[in-house]
Structure 1
Amino acid sequence: MSTLAATIDQATAFSLLDWDPGPLSVSFEFFPPNSPKMEENLWAAIKRLEPLAPDFVSVTYGAGGSTRERTHNTVARILRETDLTPAAHLTCIGASRGEIDDIARRYWDEGVRHIVALRGDPAEGAGAYAPHPGGYAYAADLVAGLKRIGDFDISVAGYPDVHPAAPSAQFDLEYLKRKVDAGASRVITQYFFDPASFLRFRDKARAAGISAPIVPGIMPVTKFAQIQRFSAGCGAVVPDWLGRHFEGLDEDPATTRLVASAIVAEQCRQLIAAGVHEFHFYTLNRAELTAGICHLLGLRAREATQ
């Protein structure tokens, strides 16, 4: 075999060209709509992704608790009109313990058993985070409170690139352990772009005694400028190479989607090679890109496998 042929053989030994990733599980995140058109888009995305049989789908909770009723209405409708398992985001922001407990009990009474428990972000312009007087101060407190109400399946957030408010990576890990010890079932990470960042985070979490499943959060890029804005607020690192891949595509959404799907498929391929078999996709209420990536990873709609 020539040197070039050997190099190609090594490069494609575990690639998307011909591979079997084994059984994978996925979950999807949506956000509640604030207009009839956005509601139409959301339900089109839900119906498009439902046949992929995700473990669950989560519905976000806006900064400052701004989408409380819309989040509840979306979760209730998913539970009522689909076969999906909905997970409601719930935060510490803008409510007393009693108010949050009432929301949790309402979910429990309606049959919702999955919660994504977060500290939450202040509303825009509200300044730095400050606990609500008489409220749950932080996510670990919220997790413990939810467990007192019912045996919820609780997901919490982890940060491969470190939470922007954390004084150090070690502090961030220690606090994550508090959330898991309080009763969280799994960790879903903030999105990241370097697979090595997630793998280092996973290994450090295990070394810190965190045994709960750690699920990578995957964000396909739909608009690069938007990702830069999101990342500036949440602490996610945007590597230079990512910007180069999307250079000149601001007004070319079709090519952006093609590039994004290739990048995410490669990210997931590397993670699968390192033993990861669960993925959480931030869909931004757009189904096509997430559905295409899942197809590349071997997931098929239930109807296609019968």
Structure 2
Amino acid sequence: MKTCELFKVKRVLSFEIFPPKRTDSVNIIYDTIEKLKGINPDFISVTYGAGGSESSSNTLKIASDIKNKYGLESVAHLPCINLTKGEVLKMLDDFKKAGIENILALRGDVNTRFILKNDFKYASDLISFIKENGDFNIIAACYPEGHFESSTIIEDIRNLKRKVDAGANQLITQLFFDNNYFYSFRERAAIAGINVPIEAGIMPVVNKKQIERLISLCRANLPKKFLTIMTRYENNPEAMRDAGIAYAVDQIVDLIAQGVDGIHLYTMNNPYIAHRIYEAINTLLVA
């Protein structure tokens, strides 16, 4: 099923997971999927490892198993910056054979360990290519606070419009911790004529190391309220976990009240956190 169709009948709840690292047992990811299945999410997306890494080879298999073994809809991530057109064509063929209908089309992060290919410079290039070479539901990423490489918020929204015009059927936001950024972004998107469903990406932060990594990688702004909570509980792991879950639930409750199209939870392969959040919000999803 193409996940864009879900938004016509319901508020969507989806999860993101990532393939196991080389040092982890592959059973860990399937144990995670088994536990997430109990929540019955609308779909589960599977990330693609950094250009050429071992984890990237597992994306197709895991996404295929989610759909064909566990009976849940799946989305395969596909970053293009380190791929040729020939490689992408092969992957699209593999996706089709596995019954995967949904692709999250990304540019991907620049990795200095790999020589960049020149076939796809932007995600919009990949989206156009997928549109021309298959019948897939195409999902694109968006950035409530603006992509850090964009010179202005206006430039960022224009780039997003190019993705949608190229064929993106739905959007998932990068994580954010202040809902006001999302509401302002949603308004800008509407003004720009972007009328596809937008899922809000939410990540429950449950430890200090995770916060530091977020600051260095995604550059999301951390509100004073969030920092106060994290500082208060950073030396108490259990309290920190519960505070992070509570903060995420608070965000989601407000987003649902404001008519969000869907929630995409960055689970960090932690089904316990996903279950806790679902238990807190499930009745609101259908209200």
User: What amino acid does structure 1 have at the position aligned with 2:72?
Assistant: L
Write the deviation string for residues 243-286 of structure 1: whole angstroms up to 9, x where unpaired.
Answer: 21011533432211211121111111111111114100000000
Among candidates 27, 33, 41, match of residue 46 of structure 1: 33
Deviation at 1:73, TM superposition (A): 2.2
In structure 2, the partner of 1:100 is 88
Partner of 1:247: 231
Deviations 1:172-228 (A, max 9, x none): 100101101111111100000011110110011001110001110000012233223
Q: Secondary structure at the match of 1:298?
A: helix
1:87 paired to 2:75: yes
Structure 1 Cα separation of the partners of residues 51 and 107 of structure 2? 10
Kept after mapping to 1: 8 A contact 2:50/2:56:
no
Shift of 1:40: 2.8
Residue matched to 2:139: 155
Deviations 1:144-186 (A, max 9, x none): 1111121211110000111111111111100101101111111
Q: CA deviation at 1:242?
A: 1.2
1:109 matched to 2:97? The reply is yes
Stretches of structure 2 lacking an aligned partner (at least 5 in a row): 1-9
Amino acid at match of 2:50: A
Candidates 59, 71, 77, aligned match of 1:71: 59
Distance 1:204 1:287 in 2: 34
Does the residue aligned with 1:188 lie in a helix, a strand or coil? strand
Unaligned runs of 5+ in 1: 1-22, 301-306
Amino acid at match of 2:268: L
In structure 2, what residue type is equivalent to 1:77?
Answer: D
2:144–2:185 CA contact under 8 A, matched in 1:
yes
Q: Is 1:184 aligned to 2:171, yes or no?
A: no
| Alpha-carbon distance between aligned partners in 2 of 1:250 and 1:79, rounded to the nearest angstrom | 38
Query: Which of 234, 255, 261 is residue 271 of structure 1 equivalent to?
Result: 255
Given residue 83 of structure 1, which amino acid in structure 2 is its aligned partner? G
Cα pair 1:180 1:210 within 8 Å, conserved: yes
Opposite residue 42 of structure 2, the aligned amino acid is D
Deviation at 1:299, TM superposition (A): 5.3
Identity of aligned residues (%): 36
Per-residue deviation at 1:79?
A: 2.6
d(CA) in 1 for partners of 2:124 and 2:65? 28
CA distance in structure 2 between the partners assigned to 1:252 and 1:38 by the alignment: 28
Q: How many Å separate the matches in 1 of 2:171 and 2:33?
A: 23
Q: 1:211 to 1:65 in 2, by over 3 A?
A: farther
Larger Rg: 1
How many residues matched? 274
CA distance in 1, matches of 2:134, 2:171: 19
Partner of 2:49: 62
The structural deviation recorded for 1:78 is: 1.9
Deviates more, 1:29-38 or 1:105-114: 29-38
CA contact (8 A) 1:218 1:280 kept: yes
Q: CA RMSD in A?
A: 2.0
TM-score by length of structure 2 reads 0.89
Secondary structure of 1:263's partner?
Answer: helix
The one-character-per-residue Cα deviations of 1:18-75 (angstroms, maximum 9, x if unpaired) are xxxxx64201000001247453332222111112222211110122242321212222
Q: Secondary structure at the match of 2:282?
A: coil
Residue in structure 2 matched with residue 120 of structure 1 by the alignment: 108
Which amino acid in 2 is paired with 1:60? T
2-side partners of 1:233 and 1:201: how far apart?
A: 20
> Structure 1: how far apart are the matches of 2:116 and 2:29?
32
